[in-house]
Copies of this chain bind each other. A is one copy, B any other.
Amino acid sequence: MSPDAKKVDDRPHVVVLGAGFGGLTAAKALASVPVRVTVLDRTNHHTFQPLLYQVATAGLSASEIAQPIRGILGAHRNTTVLMAEASGVDLDARRVHLVGGDSVDWDYLIVACGAETSYFGHDDWRSVAPGLKSVEDALVIRERVLEAFEHAENEAVTEHRGDPLSFVVIGGGPTGVELAGAVAELAKRVIQRDFRGIDPSKARVRLIEAGPRILPSFAPDLSERAVAQLGQLGVEVLTGARVTGIEPGIVQLEHDRIECSVVLWAAGVAANPLTSRLGVAVDRGGRVLVERDLSIPGHPRAFVIGDAARLDGPDGKPLPGLSPVAMQQARTVAKSIRGALEGKPAVVFSYVDKGQLATIGRVRAIAQLARVHLSGFVAWMTWLLVHIFYLIGFKNRIVVMVVWAWSYLTYRRGSRLIVSRRSIEDVERTAASAEPSAR
């Protein structure tokens, strides 16, 4: 900001990088603090990531789980939202550099830029096996999945041949389990009447996990119950299966080779690469090794929260990449900033673990709430209640609920839309020679 602006508003300036669960919670928690807040995000929307798999499998439309950041923070008069991408941070000069050359100065910084899909060095797998971290990712996966059915139907009708459809989901964490369950349900229960040449319910869905069991962050009995529930949906679970190669149509395992129509990747995430450009220590997953108050070592006014931060719990294990962690950390940091203005020391973060949940298809789930282990419909109701509660911040939760109720009652999907990237690219290709006039 220019010196002139400082004169106009001399409240300390808090810059928040990212409008995920962590960044939004921080901005909201700072609404009553005498600071001005600027939230930067490369998109214009907050994504409700726990439901991304529903967008990817055509159960919900993108706008039902993504909300304009401006809309969410519009009432906070001390908060400015910028749709901009940070290219780097100068921790000493207290400045964020933006793609395009502009910069923003800060008095306090909250890095909440989250994680993205990681292929563990195999970046060539990305194009064949898309991951699921953003709305764009979800639309890419939806297109792959729906086009596989369309392609098979075309072959069956015009050429009277049909290779059996087969889907492979790599990675047995919650995202992989949710994706595999939802794809199986889509094929076997939702669209099975819509085709003439193929029988979508014959599609194979395989979930591949390198470790000895799926959902390793849950207790072993819940992993077993998840396998059983996936089996009810027709998902085959392969554990101890390490992927060594992915090419179009083929997933190569150490001792096997799987032919498939579509491969989806849910096997790994790493922190947003911005963290590696901070010039401070990060772990193998790119997460910043923060102090107990979530500040960057040596930079007490710069904090990192959520999936971008590495902090070990009392058990010595890193805190999980879950939204409750990010949101609790956001509130702690907001408290520290409020305190700093009053000369108080920073607050040490302490995670309150309320449990974890994973859904499996439409009415199945597992839930681990302290010592209580739930599965099946009861777990799913728990999952639903938790998400309704979370969605309360969402203005159109009423719509999401209606869509769900409708889908639940009719077993139909409302969002089976393939928005052709090809056509959009045609427009873009032409546009390349003439920049949009808005720029």
Contact = CB atoms under 8 A, between A and B. Distances in A.
Interface of A: 1-2, 4-5, 38, 42-45, 61-64, 66, 68, 70-71, 74-75, 80-84, 98, 102-104, 124, 126-128, 130, 134-137, 139-140, 144, 146-148, 150-151, 153-154, 157-160, 191, 193-197, 247-250, 260-263, 395-396, 398-399, 402-403, 406, 410, 412-421, 423-425, 427-428, 430-439
A418 B63 contact: no
Contact of A423 (B104, B136, B249): B136
Contact of A63 (B80, B82, B417): B417
A417 B4 contact: no
A406 B400 CA distance: 12
Contacts of A61: 61-64
A331 to B, nearest CB: 24
B438 A148 contact: yes
9 contacts: A44-B416, A61-B62, A98-B158, A127-B427, A136-B427, A140-B424, A248-B435, A263-B437, A396-B406
Contact of A130 (B81, B395, B396, B427): B427
Contacts of A98: 158
A144 B437 CA distance: 9
Contacts of A68: 194, 413, 416-417
A402 B395 CA distance: 13
B193 A127 contact: no
Contacts of A70: 191, 194-195, 416
A141 to B, nearest CB: 10
A46 to B, nearest CB: 11
Contacts of A128: 431, 434, 436-437
Question: Interface SS of chain A: helix, strand, loop or mixed?
Answer: mixed
Contacts of A420: 42-43, 136
A139 B438 contact: no
Q: 8 shortest A-B CB distances, which residue pairs?
A: A70-B194, A61-B63, A148-B438, A127-B431, A127-B430, A248-B437, A68-B416, A102-B158
Given A61-B63, A74-B194, A128-B431, 5 more contacts: A81-B196, A104-B158, A127-B427, A140-B427, A396-B406
A414 B126 contact: no
Contacts of A82: 153-154, 157-158
Contacts of A193: 74-75
Contacts of A432: 127
Nearest to A134: B423
A154 B306 CA distance: 26
A204 to B, nearest CB: 14
Nearest to A145: B438
Contacts of A160: 2, 4-5
B414 A421 contact: no
B135 A417 contact: yes
A313 to B, nearest CB: 33
A247 B434 contact: yes
A63 B64 CA distance: 10
A401 to B, nearest CB: 10
A426 to B, nearest CB: 9
Contacts of A38: 157
A125 to B, nearest CB: 9
Nearest to A261: B438
A136 B262 CA distance: 24
Contacts of A427: 126-127, 130, 136-137, 140
A127 B433 contact: yes
A421 B418 contact: no
Contact of A43 (B83, B418, B436): B418
